[in-house]
Structures are given as C-alpha cells and as structure tokens.
Amino acid sequence: MSDGGKGSSPRPFSVDQNTYGKNFDAIFRKKTPQEIEDQKAEDEAFKLIEQLSQGGETVSQRTHNP
C-alpha cells in the first residue's frame, strides 16, 4: 500500500525565512498598546489635516475659545 507520498522532510520554502517571518508578523502579530495609541494619534492628525484642506475650521479657531 502507498502512504500517499508523505515523508519526514518538510516542503521546500519558496521564500527565504526572513521574508516569511516578516510576512507572518505583519499578518498575525498583535500590536502593543503603544502602537495602537500611535495609530490613533496618526489617524486623528490625518483627519484634522483633511478637514483643513477641505475648508473646515482653522487650527486657531479650534484651539482658541474666546
């Protein structure tokens, strides 16, 4: 009977281990709390810049309450 060709040796990698590790981390690694906060701050800054470029309130109007 045939065992289906299974052996003890692993299949060859089509990419090197370094690239495989980076890709795996990019997909499955959980972000640290600091990375999450940094991303939130970056998103808020981007939204503010987007509002300003679309004619929204200016920074001086937003930061100074008379």
Q: What's the mean pLDDT when you consider all of the chain?
A: 81
Domain positions in the chain? 31-66
pLDDT given at position 30:
87
Look up the pTM and report it.
0.39
Q: What is the pLDDT of residues 50-59, one digit of tens each?
A: 988 887 555 5
Handedness of CA 17, 20, 26, 30 (dihedral sign): negative
Q: What is the mean pLDDT of residues 5-21?
A: 83
Angle at 22 between CA 17 and CA 26, to 5 degrees: 145
- Which two tokens mark 28? 């499955």
Q: Per residue in 15-33, pLDDT tens?
A: 899 999 999 988 998 888 8
* pLDDT computed for residue 32 by the predictor: 87
